[in-house]
Amino acid sequence: MKLSESHLYQEIHSQPAVLENLFDAEREHIQSIGAALQQRRVTNVVIAARGTSDNAGRYAQYLLGAVNRLVVGLATPSLFSIYQRPPAFHDALVIGISQSGSSPDIVSVVAEGSQQGATTLAITNEPASPLAQAAQYVIPLHAGQEQSVAATKTYTTQLMALALLSASLAGDASMFATLQHVPRYIGRVLQMNDAIAHAAERYRYMRVCVVIGRGYNYATAFETALKLKELTYVLAEPYSSADFMHGPVALVEEAFPTIVIAPSGALQDEMRGFIHTLRERGAEVIVVSDAPELVALARVGLKLPVTAPEWVSPLVSIVPGQLLAMHLANVRDYDVDRPRGLRKVTETH
Amino acid sequence: MKLSESHLYQEIHSQPAVLENLFDAEREHIQSIGAALQQRRVTNVVIAARGTSDNAGRYAQYLLGAVNRLVVGLATPSLFSIYQRPPAFHDALVIGISQSGSSPDIVSVVAEGSQQGATTLAITNEPASPLAQAAQYVIPLHAGQEQSVAATKTYTTQLMALALLSASLAGDASMFATLQHVPRYIGRVLQMNDAIAHAAERYRYMRVCVVIGRGYNYATAFETALKLKELTYVLAEPYSSADFMHGPVALVEEAFPTIVIAPSGALQDEMRGFIHTLRERGAEVIVVSDAPELVALARVGLKLPVTAPEWVSPLVSIVPGQLLAMHLANVRDYDVDRPRGLRKVTETH
């Protein structure tokens, strides 16, 4: 089968269209959810999610923190499902994020929130799922069925749903205007497809790598690493540049591959210094950025053809990682739609 | 130099003594902090930390969640230091954990908390540090100077400080009684030293591994992996068993090394099933556990000679990981006190 006929290829390339769907179908609904949440004076947020959806939760930590000044924590589902000692939510907003809406441990967090009288929200591609049924509010992703095991379009639609929620809570019309441009931005980034297919050849025999991002793009580092692990079986470990300096930098030796997610923004100075540190240690540095000065420092530069405001950059900067993981799997003759040992829905307790 | 003369060896083996120091010196002080926090009706906790201290924060998420029913989140320091958009803490308790107390980004979180009028607590080995000065309450670790770059005794004392805090908030005398036994438990686990030195030989040429733990011992998986990265330069990636099933399990192929931290407790059934899954895929399974039935399933079993209640098991179950990382570094002829490219105090912003 040709790669371009795979579900994964088609789902990655469908992202501009499905994101536009979501924006058009849900903007008003999410604004009404935002208005209801405002009335309840939510001050902190707990997010329950696993895998790719957990990376969407990482984006929400920064977005709802910086824009909406909310304290956002990621839930520890085993407190609910294994230890049966759930925390007291008080006035928290509990958000469950899941493509399938059917992982029992995630459902158990949201169900406990509802039972305690907390405000609960499900973000899912399956609006009839147990997760949706357990929550007070539901944002459906409108992504269409995702057939590839590796999640791509459901990740970017989860980010869009969270960004629409943040804009609604902030009541900021300019944020909606920016979000409306995102499908077009992603359309332009998808034009990197052939260049990334070419770049992937170089990593045919890569066994390990680290993926670095910070701030808003901490999520992008995690999601890029997860796609590499799922699709190419490379041990790709994600880090914030700050955490990386607290120990793991010892790993870096000559030729050690490091993927640095560094769109322009508040972190640009830090990322420049970080890339220099990696180069001094002889690392092979791959940079994903729209900033020419950062791309110029890379051994392999993946230059984003658009500059997005930093708070929406994770929607754009994940796309090269999706493409790289897909093409690297293809270069290695792996089945991109059905990675070994994985199923689409993972039921953990 | 003989390994037993290294700072690292001596610091690992000093843990029973320094933990006893901490317990005796701080129990009453921490009880008074707990009483003051009770009066302030804290409902949620934000923890700022990096590296090893962040792993102590992971323990606190489960302990303060399960025992004290608090919602505990890990802070995103860049919101404070880089974006300068800190969340509003309201009635949160903000805890900064740092051996040196001098990483600027961690100090900035606690300083912001104090400025907002939130309750703030520093847990540090340096009671005169900037972190201690920024916080309302300070718990000193009494660990003595830590000279090895890799943190060991400051990790277990951080866990002890957090456990004493949890016991104080719960007002539970039986928890104090259990904690008083911990130094003796660790003394017994240190008798595994020679057996672990022998086991380390087998991994002389290991390049990558994953370390699995869940619930209370999610922290132990992270800290074991961090010691391996810092001291042996093995790309050791930590996971909860549940997260691992949501994608990364695709990595596992014949002979893939997986270290499973599985003390007896609420997760024993799940861990048994998980080990079977790994074995079916041909993984090399290393088990750290007091449960004979789980150790028996391992290719290499590291049997804990003591059974601790699950909530204190992270203090005990990290010790084999510390010993394994030290002996593996020694087997590889690395300097255990001064890993390449690391300094004791990392100043991230």
User: pLDDT of A42-77, one tens digit each?
Assistant: 889 999 999 999 999 999 999 999 999 999 999 988
Nearest CA in chain B to A256: B235
Distance CA A89, CA A336 (A): 41
Amino acid at A92: A
Question: Rounded to two decimals, what is the model's pTM?
Answer: 0.94
Is B65 in contact with A43 (Cβ distance < 8 A)?
no
Quick one: A191 and A141 in the same domain? no
> Looking at CA atoms only, how far is residue A119 from chain B in angstroms?
15
Which residue bears the tokens 């090895």? B148
Is B270 in contact with A349 (Cβ distance < 8 A)?
yes
**Could you tell me the CATH number of the domain that includes residue A236?**
3.40.50.10490
Quick one: B214 and B159 in the same domain? no
Task: Say if residues B236 and B225 touch (Cβ distance below 8 Å).
Answer: yes
| Per-position pLDDT tens, chain B of length 349 | 799 999 999 999 999 999 999 999 999 999 999 999 999 888 899 999 999 999 999 999 999 999 999 999 999 888 988 999 999 998 899 999 999 999 999 999 999 999 999 999 999 999 999 999 999 999 999 999 999 999 999 999 999 999 999 999 999 999 999 999 999 999 999 999 999 999 999 999 999 999 999 999 999 999 999 999 999 999 999 999 888 887 788 888 889 999 999 999 999 999 999 999 999 999 999 999 999 999 999 999 999 999 999 999 999 999 999 999 999 999 999 999 998 877 777 777 7
Residue B166 falls inside a structural domain: yes
Is A341 in contact with B250 (Cβ distance < 8 A)?
yes
Write out chain B residues lying below 8 Å of A229, CB-based.
247-248, 250-251
Nearest CA in chain B to A51: B246
Residue B310 falls inside a structural domain: yes
Residue B141 falls inside a structural domain: yes
Residue A239 pLDDT: 92
Q: What is the complex's ipTM, to 2 decimals? A: 0.90
Write out chain B residues lying below 8 Å of A50, CB-based.
242-243, 246
Residue A336 falls inside a structural domain: no
**Which residue among B65, B82, B348 sits closest to A246, beta carbon to beta carbon?**
B348
Task: Say if residues B302 and B196 touch (Cβ distance below 8 Å).
Answer: yes
> Containing H/E element for B110?
helix B104-116
Write out chain A residues lying below 8 Å of B267, CB-based.
78, 82
Under 8 Å CB-to-CB from B103, ≥6 apart: which residues? B50, B131, B345, B346, B347, B348
Distance CA A26, CA B92 (A): 33
Residue B61 falls inside a structural domain: yes
Is B235 in contact with A230 (Cβ distance < 8 A)?
no
Token readout for B211 is: 């370390």
Domain that holds residue B94: 3-171
Distance CA A288, CA B271 (A): 38
Q: Which pLDDT band, with edges at 50, 70 and 90, does A119 fall under?
A: very high
Domain boundary among A171, A200, A225: A171
Q: What percent of chain A has pLDDT over 90?
A: 88
Higher pLDDT, A244 or A224: A224
**Which residue among A50, A87, A92 sits closest to B65, beta carbon to beta carbon?**
A87
Quick one: B128 and B205 in the same domain? no
Token readout for B46 is: 């934000």
Query: Residues in chain B, how many?
Result: 349
Distance CA A244, CA A211 (A): 10
Q: Which pLDDT band, with edges at 50, 70 and 90, does A25 fall under?
A: very high
- Which 3-state string (H, E, C) describes B162-222? HHHHHHHHHCCHHHHHHHHHHHHHHHHHHHHHHHHHHHHHHHCCCCEEEEECCHHHHHHHH
Q: How far is CA B1 from CA A192, B193, B229, B334, B344, in A?
A: 54, 18, 22, 12, 21
**Which residue among A85, A215, A229 sits closest to B66, beta carbon to beta carbon?**
A85
Quick one: B158 and B215 in the same domain? no
Among B86, B4, B3, smallest CA distance to B46 is for B86
List the end-to-end C-alpha distance of chain A, in Å, as a whole number. Answer: 37
Q: Is A292 exposed, middle or buried (0-12, 13-18, 19+ CB in 10 A)?
A: exposed
**Which residue among B54, B251, B341 sits closest to A233, beta carbon to beta carbon?**
B251
> Looking at CA atoms only, how far is residue A52 from chain B in angstroms?
8
Is A66 in contact with B85 (Cβ distance < 8 A)?
yes
Strand partners, B281: none
Task: Say if residues B257 and B206 touch (Cβ distance below 8 Å).
Answer: yes
Quick one: A103 and A50 in the same domain? yes
Amino acid at A135: A
Under 8 Å CB-to-CB from B256, ≥6 apart: which residues? B208, B209, B210, B281, B282, B283, B284
Token readout for A260 is: 């640095």
Burial B299-331 (b: 16+ CB within 10 A, else e): ebbbbbebebebbbbbbbbbbbbbbbbbbbbbb
Quick one: A167 and A201 in the same domain? no
Q: Is A273 exposed, middle or buried (0-12, 13-18, 19+ CB in 10 A)?
A: exposed
Quick one: A224 and A289 in the same domain? yes
Is A247 in contact with B52 (Cβ distance < 8 A)?
yes
Under 8 Å CB-to-CB from B272, ≥6 apart: which residues? B293, B294, B297
Which residue bears the tokens 């974006």? B83
> Looking at CA atoms only, how far is residue B190 from chain A in angstroms?
24
> Containing H/E element for A119?
strand A119-124
Token readout for B19 is: 């933990």
Token readout for B262 is: 């599985």
Quick one: B166 and B196 in the same domain? no
Q: Once rounded to an integer, what is the mean pLDDT over residues A244-260?
A: 89
Quick one: A139 and A277 in the same domain? no
Residue A253 pLDDT: 86
Distance CA B224, CA B322 (A): 7
What is the count of residue pairs from A and B with beta carbons less than 8 Å apart?
A: 203
> Looking at CA atoms only, how far is residue B232 from chain A in angstroms?
8
Is B229 in contact with A252 (Cβ distance < 8 A)?
no
Domain boundary among A171, A196, A222: A171
Write out chain A residues lying below 8 Å of B229, CB-based.
247-248, 250-251
Strand partners, B124: B98, B140
Burial B196-227 (b: 16+ CB within 10 A, else e): bbebbeebeebebbbbbbbbbbbbbbbbbbbb
**Which residue among B251, B340, B348 sits closest to A242, beta carbon to beta carbon?**
B348
Is A76 in contact with B88 (Cβ distance < 8 A)?
no
Quick one: A167 and A191 in the same domain? no
Domain boundary among B171, B198, B226: B171
> Containing H/E element for A209?
strand A208-212
DSSP state of A45: E
Residue A287 falls inside a structural domain: yes
Distance CA B267, CA B272 (A): 9
B8-21 pLDDT, tens digit per residue, is 999 999 999 999 99
Residue B145 pLDDT: 96
Residue A109 falls inside a structural domain: yes
Residue B348 falls inside a structural domain: no
Is A71 in contact with B78 (Cβ distance < 8 A)?
no
Three-state DSSP at B341 gives coil
Work out how many domains chain B is built from and give that number: 2
A127-167 pLDDT, tens digit per residue, is 999 999 999 999 999 999 999 999 999 999 999 999 999 99
Task: Say if residues A260 and A220 touch (Cβ distance below 8 Å).
Answer: no
Distance CA A330, CA A9 (A): 11
Quick one: B154 and B192 in the same domain? no
Quick one: A152 and A210 in the same domain? no
